[in-house]
Structure 1
Amino acid sequence: MTVTIGVHVSNPSLYHLARLEFAQQALAPFGEDVVFHHFEDGTRTAGLLADGTIDISGTGATPPLTGQAAGHDIVYAAVSTPRPEHGALLVADDGPVRTVADLRGLTVVHSVGSWHTHLVAKALHDAGLSYTDVVSERPSAEASLPRLKSGEIGAWVAQEADLYGALREGGVRKLVETGDVITDRSVFFARRDLAENRPQVLAAVVKALQQADSWAATHLDEAAEHAAAELGGQEQDWREALSRLPWKLQSVDAAVIAEQQEAAGILADGGFLSPRITVADAYLPDLATHVDAALEARP
C-alpha cells in the first residue's frame, strides 16, 4: 500500500521530510510505499485529507479546527512541543499602536485560516476585544513590511525568515510574541481510516517526521540554505528562525485536546469558526500508544 504525505512550504517538518529518506525507511518494514503530494496552501489540508488526495499532513492549530467544522473526519496524530518564537504580531516602532486594544478598527495582515488567525483572535480576546474588532487582510503581492512602517496597516503577523528579516531591518517591534498568548504547536492530522486501520503505519510516519526534525536541528546551516533557495529570504534570517524551533514531536493527549478546544471556542466567539465543534471527536487515545512507542524506539 502507499501512504501519501501532504507537503507545503509553511510546515518545515514536512518540507525537510520530503527532501530526506526517513519516511521511506520507516515504512519499508510495513511493505508501504511513500508519495509526497506538494501543495501551496496549508489551509486546504483537511479538504485534501477528506477527498483522499493525501493521508497525513500538518499545519498550525487552526486548519484542523476549520476542517472539523466543515464536517471532515480527521484524526489528530501528533503535535510539536510549543513554538514560542515562531512568529509575532508586529507593529511600527514609532506608530500609534502601543497595546493590543489600540488595534480596534485597524487592518491586521495575517494568513487568514492559518495559526495566525488563532494568534490574532486570542490576543484580541485577552484584550477584551473580538476578532471582528479588526479588519483581517491576507498578505498581498505588496510587501507587508513597508505597509506597516508607513502606517497603511496597523499590524502584521510575521513568521520565520520574514519575522527575523523585519526585526533585523528595524523600524518595527513585537506587540505580541506567539508564546505570549498561544502554544503554537505544529499539528499533524490524518485520515481516520489510516489512523484506525493502520495505526502503526501512521506512528511510523510520525517517527520519520521526528527524524527529519532532528536532522534539521543538527544541520541548521544546510536547512537554512535550502529554505532560502526554494522559499526566498536571506539565509541568515532562515537560520535564526529555524534555530528557535523546538524540533521535537509528541503524541496527542488530553491537554493538547483542551488547548485545541479553547482555540475553537475563541474562534467561534469571534465569528470565524462555525459551527461549534467538539475537538475530542478527532482524538483517538489508542493511537497515542503507538505514536509513543514509535517515538521512543531507537532509529
Structure 2
Amino acid sequence: MTVTIGVHSSNPSLYHLYHLSRLGFAQEELAALGETVAFFPYTNGVRTGELLTRGVIDFGGTGSTPPVTAQAAGHDLVYTAVSAPRPGHGALLVPEDGPVRSVADLAGATVHLAIGSWQTHLIAKALDDAGLSYADDITAVRSGTDSERQLRAGEIGAWVAQGPELAAARRKGGLRTLVATGDVISDRSVFFTRRDFAESRPEIVEALTRALRRADDWAAANPRAAAEIAAADLGGSADDWETALRALPWRIEAVSDEFIAEQQEAADIFHRTGFIDGPVEVAAARARATGTAGPKAA
C-alpha cells in the first residue's frame, strides 16, 4: 500500500516533513510496516477534508478551522494528533497611531485574513469575546499580497499576519498588535484522516505521527536551515522565516479533551455567526475503537 500524505505550506510540520523527504522520516517509519509513501502538494488547506473523503490523500493537517468546516460539510474525519499551542504564530495588526484601540473598535471595519484558516477562528473568537459578531459587525476579506500596504495606508481596519509576514511587518515598525493569538485561541496545528483509515490502520497513523515528530525535532534543532528551505521555496527573507519558525513549539501532542473543547467552542461560534450552516459535534471526530483514538503523547 502507498500512503499519500497531503502537504501545503500553511502546516509547518507537514511542509518540512515533505521537504526533508531526503532524510526519509516518513519512508523509514512506513517501511517498517511494509508500506510506501507518496506526497501530494496542494495550496489550500481548506480542501483537506474533501481530499481525504475523495481518497486523493490519506493523511493531512491544517490549523483549527478546516476540520470544523469539513465536519460541517459532512466529511467523516478523525483527529490523530495536534501540535502544542502556537501563541506567537500570528497576530491581528492595526496601524500604530490609527483609530482602532480595542476589538470593539473593529465594528464596521474591513478586516483582511485568510478566510477558512485558523485566522477565522481567531477573529470570530476575539469578536465574540467583545460582544461582536463575525457575520454582522465586520467585513471579512481574504488577505493578499497587498494587505500590509492597505493597512498602512488606512484603507482597511486590521490585518491578520502570520509567519514571516508578521516578522517582516514588525521589523518595519508602524503597526501594533491589537490581538495576540495566544490571548484568544491556542492556535494548534491539527492532523486528521478519514475514519475508515484511522480505525482500520491505526499503526500507520502512529507511524506518521512519529515521522512528524522527527521532522519537528529536525526543524527545532536546525531553524536556520529550515528557514532557508522555506525562503527559497515560498519567498521572503530567511531572517524573517527564521524568526517565525523559532516562535513555533515544534512539539506534537495527543488529542486531548482540552483540544476537543477548544474546537467545540470554535464550532459553536461558527454556527452562531453563520460561518457554518449547522451545529457540529467535534467529539464525533475521535476514533471509536479502543486503542485507535490517536497517538500516545511523547
Range class of TM-score, shorter chain: over 0.9
Cα separation, 2, equivalents of 1:206 and 1:263: 25
Q: What residue number does 2:177 align with?
A: 174
1:87-166 matches, cutoff 5 A: 87-132=90-135, 133-141=137-145, 143-166=146-169
Cα separation, 2, equivalents of 1:277 and 1:84: 25
Task: State the one-letter code of the partner of 2:210.
Answer: K
Structure 1 residue 24, shift from structure 2 partner = 0.3
Structure 1 residue 287, shift from structure 2 partner = 4.9
Alignment CA distance shift 1:241-1:233 (3 Å) = same
Q: Contact 1:59–1:186 at 8 Å: present in 2 too?
A: yes
What residue ranges of structure 1 are gaps of 5+ in the alignment? none
Cα separation, 1, equivalents of 2:10 and 2:124: 20
Q: Contact 1:77–1:287 at 8 Å: present in 2 too?
A: no
Structure 1 residue 270, shift from structure 2 partner = 1.5
Q: What residue number does 2:189 align with?
A: 186
Cα separation, 2, equivalents of 1:170 and 1:113: 28
Task: State the one-letter code of the partner of 2:197.
Answer: L
2:7 counterpart of 1:13: no
Counterpart selection for 1:221 from 211, 219, 224: 224
Q: What residue number does 1:41 align with?
A: 44
Cα separation, 2, equivalents of 1:44 and 1:124: 26
Count, aligned residues = 293
2:60 counterpart of 1:57: yes
Describe the SS at the equivalent of 1:291: coil
2:235 counterpart of 1:246: no
Structure 1 residue 64, shift from structure 2 partner = 0.2
Structure 1 residue 289, shift from structure 2 partner = 6.2
Identity, % of aligned positions: 57
Question: Residue by residue, what CA displacement relative to the aligned partner does 1:182-226 show, whole Å, maximum 9, x if unpaired?
Answer: 000100000111100000111110110011001000000100011
Q: Contact 1:200–1:290 at 8 Å: present in 2 too?
A: no
Greater helix share, structure number = 1
1:245-284 matches, cutoff 5 A: 245-284=248-287
What residue ranges of structure 2 are gaps of 5+ in the alignment? none
Please give the TM-score of this superposition, normalised by the length of structure 1.
0.96
Q: Contact 1:252–1:288 at 8 Å: present in 2 too?
A: no
